[in-house]
Structure 1
Amino acid sequence: MSLPAIAPSDLSPRPPVPGIPPVAAPRVPAVSPLVPPIAPAIPSVAPMTPPPPPPGALSPPPPPSAGKGPGLDANQLADLASRCAKLEQLDYFEVLLLERTATPADIKKAFYRESRTYHPDRFFHITDKQLKEQVHELYKRVTEAYYVLRDDTKRKKYVSDVTGPERAQKLRFTEASEAETKAAAKKEQEEQIGTHPKGRQFYQQAQKDIDAGNWSAAERNLKMALTYEPSNARYKENLAEAQKRLQEEAKGKGDSFKIR
């Protein structure tokens, strides 16, 4: 069964009926074609830059130069080259940048200062062969200087050498210098206590008598010591002092004419 055709005239709006308000046709929303929604545009953001440091802030230290060692600046490199160039003309005090009147504490402090800067372990990774050799030579001489100057006996001998006419030949403390130092120390000890066992025995007893103020016994023991070592200057010096004290005691007692 087919539906009757609708004439165009049937779709035209009807004339209003008296007494009945017209009815508005329902509004059909317009349908947009199927287009995907467009995402809102995101404004581009410029990369953030760190704020400038406040006034007076410390800037980080620059990285060390490649192949130039850890922390050695231009001045230190120049100082290293200069000191190595004249190393053979420097005495141990000059190597440690010290005066000859430096105390043992000053010497120790100078050695630690140089070690912190030029210890070879701080330069093991660098590729500059010349710099490595300079550091090695300077640190070797610094260690040698400390070894000699920290010893009171060696320092005394070394100062005598470098202030004498043979300074140029005595700048380094060699095995010969070591032997000379030991011989001088032995001689000094022998002059103090003697070389003969019996002479040393009487001299040591005389020293105890002197400490006790017993000058008569000291004189007796010193004379006995001189029978074994008649040329010992120390024995003679102490005997003269003991006899002087005995004379002073005798004068104090009014007995200056007593025959001994």
Structure 2
Amino acid sequence: MDLDPSQMTELWDRCARLDQMDYFEVLMVERSSAPADIKKAFYRESRTYHPDRFFHLDNKELKDRVHDLYKRVTEAYYVLRDDAKRRQYTANISGPERAQKLRFSESSEAETRAASKRQVEEQIGVHPKGRQFYQTGAADADAGRWASAERNLKMALTYEPANTRYKEKLAEVQKVLLDESRKQGDAFKIR
């Protein structure tokens, strides 16, 4: 593959800007791009900048820069194809520390994993017994067994007293129990 002077200039320019480019710029896609578009861009860019296409170049520095560009294209795809990593990365590069966050590091990945784990734990709970009692209580509530639902949800909260989801579900059940109690009281007064 021979490059004409304008292609060579463009290649040098792209390689020179690599350290200032975020992953969206590396793949030449918009931040709102669909996963399929990101995949197409990855294949396009990885074919274009594959180091084997530049083996004939005499300039070792340019070969090394093309290799770095190719690695960055692969890195960009690795991050942008994963929804959680993409959200974290987009948040990172949208902030005031953009220049320091252009590369998705191992610590960024650890933060993303921890955030995902926290989100799941907040949804279903961290303690197996707490989850079990919550699920039983939720099933009782769905079936209209309000007293049983209240007991099971209170048990779930003994294992996870700070779980917001458990507290909210218990409050819903207790409201229904209170409303039913009031209705029965009103019916008793009418007699």
> Structure 2 unaligned runs (5+)?
none
TM-score by length of 1: 0.63
> Larger relative contact order (C-alpha < 8 A, sep ≥ 6)?
2
**Greater Rg, structure 1 or structure 2?**
1
Hey, which of these two has a bigger chunk of helix by percent?
Answer: 2
Distance in 2 (alpha carbons) for counterparts of 1:218 and 1:155:
39
Report the residue type matching 2:97 in the other structure: E
2:29 is aligned with 1:98: yes
Structure 1 residue 130: Cα displacement? 2.9
The aligned residue for residue 170 of structure 2 is 239
Q: 1:241 to 1:79 in 2, by over 3 A?
A: farther
The aligned residue for residue 196 of structure 1 is 127
Structure 1 residue 89: Cα displacement? 1.4
Structure 1 residue 219: Cα displacement? 3.8
After the TM superposition, which residues 87-166 of structure 1 pair with which residues of structure 2 at under 5 Å, given as runs? 87-166=18-97
Q: Please identify runs of 4+ aligned residues in structure 1 that moved more than 6 A.
A: none
CA contact (8 A) 1:199 1:226 kept: yes
Structure 1 residue 190: Cα displacement? 1.4
**Cα RMSD for the two superposed structures:** 2.7
Report the residue type matching 2:120 in the other structure: Q
Q: How many residues of Structure 1 are paired with residues of Structure 2 in the alignment?
A: 186
Distance in 2 (alpha carbons) for counterparts of 1:151 and 1:249:
46
Q: 1:205 to 1:130 in 2, by over 3 A?
A: same
TM-score by length of 2: 0.83
2:157 is aligned with 1:214: no
Report the residue type matching 2:124 in the other structure: I
Q: 1:220 to 1:132 in 2, by over 3 A?
A: same
Secondary structure, counterpart of 1:157 in structure 2: helix
In percent, how many aligned pairs have the same letter?
64
Q: 1:257 to 1:174 in 2, by over 3 A?
A: farther
The aligned residue for residue 113 of structure 2 is 182
Q: Deviation digits for residues 106-128 of structure 1, max 9, x if unmatched?
A: 11111001012111122223323
